[in-house]
Amino acid sequence: MVESDFVRECITRFATLPENEREDLLVRLRNVHAEKKQSEQSAPSTKGSIFGGKGTGKGKGQPQSNGGSSQSSSIFGANLNAFPAGSPSSPFAVQPVRHEPALIGNDAIDVFFREEEGSALLTRNDCVKPASHAEFVAKVANWLSFVSQISVDKGMIAKSFVNASPEERGRLERIFRRDADRTMLNEHRRLRFIETLTLCNVELQDYHQGGGFITAFLSLFLRQEDVARVIWHLHRHEMVGYFKGAAQGFVSDSRVFHELFRQFLPNLNAHLERHQMNSENTQMWCIKFFVGMGVHFMPFTIVFQYFEACLQHGHEFFFKFGISWLQHLETHLMLARSTSELGALLRNEHPTDQTKSHPGLWKGSVKDEIEAFEEILANAHSVNLNRFGDFQQLRIRKAAEFEQLMIQRAKRMEELADEVENCEGDFSDEDD
């Protein structure tokens, strides 16, 4: 078989493989090529061609010829005829599939953590280390059992912007790039993150930064298709309307949450409202554990527990956790005397560094913070959302009220636009 025929057959067979086997094959071929290159370097007396065969003296880089029946190896370092179909050594044989996490890819795990130390994504990482990473990969993989059976193929990425105008596509691509630059330190990982966001966008067709936080966190442990599978599940079921730019589903739920904690904690609510913190701006702080699902809000040790509870119990757990969080925080909040001080406490943020937790809550001790959050999580499970009425009916009612409010606001915006247009006409310099 001549070299061009070999390569053509490789490509033909590659195109027929399932996506996961293609990924595995590419990894194996790179390894074979690297091993062959190393072998050639260790035997300098043997001159090899670019195809991996021995030189013939006809010129550097020419494949060896033997009466038209060349047995030369390919650029992949493998002779197709040398590997019978199904052979364990064949690059086309089915091998155990390795699921490299989307952000890490084929990088050595210790290299990843060394090069990304100090990145925004790892700021609250207290537990995932090179030695323990595989353990957490297995843990997060188990979350897929809570996720709907959704078919995701990386080939879908071509459909990401199919219905978007050039302006909308440009807007999303700029947002993806900015968030990638903020999230990771190294460019090749930023590009992986952008690719994962683009795959998720196939269904979302919009973007909210909270969804980016979740995507980045999951990308430490899941391959791109599984990250998209989790994001799409949340989008369809537990977080409907959360991952849109306007995030109307989340804003509506933030009003539900405000109504709940007004009933559970009336004195605290009155204190917050005295500092202009009401149903209109509750979204500004509960976004951390609603849309962001705790990423950049709590240590990774707690993010794992919170994420799993949310997948297992659904959207209700956002509200239960929020009530438990406020109950734990009530004394600190009642002593606060300014809106900015209240906001920093509610968001668990350092007043001068948003990547760090609030110093007045845990006194710099991650251990104390973890213990407190574990208690908050435990108490959250016992919160009865129906204590003051039917929770689901409240959610339906608030959603309808918010939808009507948005319609009224949109109508008012149209009226204002018409008024501006009429004013421009009144001051026109054109002759009558």
| Ramachandran assignment for 261, one of left (phi > 0), alpha (psi -120 to 50 degrees), beta (any other) | alpha
The pLDDT of residue 418: 73
User: For residues 311 and 210, what is the distance between their CA atoms, to the nearest angstrom?
Assistant: 16
| Domains of the chain, residue spans | 3-82, 102-245, 247-425
Neighbours of 327 (CB within 10 A): 17
Closest CA to 321 of 339, 337, 340, 297: 297
Give the pLDDT of the chain (432 residues) as one tens digit per residue: 444 444 445 555 555 555 556 566 655 655 655 555 565 555 544 434 333 444 444 444 444 444 444 443 333 344 444 444 444 444 444 434 446 899 998 899 999 999 999 999 999 999 999 999 999 999 999 999 999 989 999 899 999 998 899 999 999 999 999 999 999 999 999 999 999 999 999 999 999 999 999 999 999 999 999 999 999 999 999 999 999 988 899 999 999 999 999 999 999 999 999 999 999 999 999 999 999 999 999 999 999 999 999 999 999 999 999 999 999 999 999 999 999 999 999 999 998 888 889 999 998 899 999 999 999 999 999 999 999 999 999 999 999 999 998 888 888 888 787 777 666 655 555 554
Compute the 3-state secondary structure of the chain and give helix, strand, coil in percent, each to the nearest 5: 60, 0, 40
Cβ 141 vs Cβ 173: under 8 Å: no
CB atoms within 10 A of CB 1: 16
pTM of the model: 0.75
Strand partners, 350: 353
Of 224, 262, 229, the C-alpha closest to 389 is: 262
Question: For residues 310 and 317, is the Cβ–Cβ distance under 8 A?
Answer: yes
- 243 neighbors 207 (Cβ within 8 angstroms): yes
How confident is the model at residue 412, as a pLDDT? 85
Q: Which fold has domain 247-425?
A: Cyclin A; domain 1 (1.10.472)
> Which residues make Cβ contacts (< 8 Å) with residue 133, sequence separation at least 6?
109, 113
95 φψ region: left (φ > 0), alpha (ψ -120 to 50), beta (else): beta
C-beta separation of 107 from 114 below 8 A = no
Q: How far apart are CA 13 and CA 41, in angstroms?
A: 30
**Among candidates 226, 239, 236, 176, which has minimal Cα distance to 206?**
176
Query: Quick check: helix, strand or coil at residue 48?
Result: strand
Say how far apart CA 252 and CA 113 lie, in whole Å: 38
Q: Give the distance, in angstroms, between the CA of residue 71 and the centroid of all CA atoms in the same chain.
A: 47
**What is the b/e burial string over 352-378, where b = at least 16 CB atoms within 10 angstroms of the residue's CB?**
eeeeebbeebbeeeeeebbebbeebbe
| 293: nearest Cα among 199, 374, 215, 223 | 215
Q: For residue 391, give both structure tokens.
A: 């929770």
Per-residue model confidence as pLDDT tens digits over 212-270: 999 999 999 999 999 999 999 999 999 999 999 888 999 999 999 999 999 999 999 99
Torsions phi, psi of 302, nearest 5? Answer: -85, -35
Please, are residues 234 and 315 in contact by the beta-carbon 8 Å criterion? no
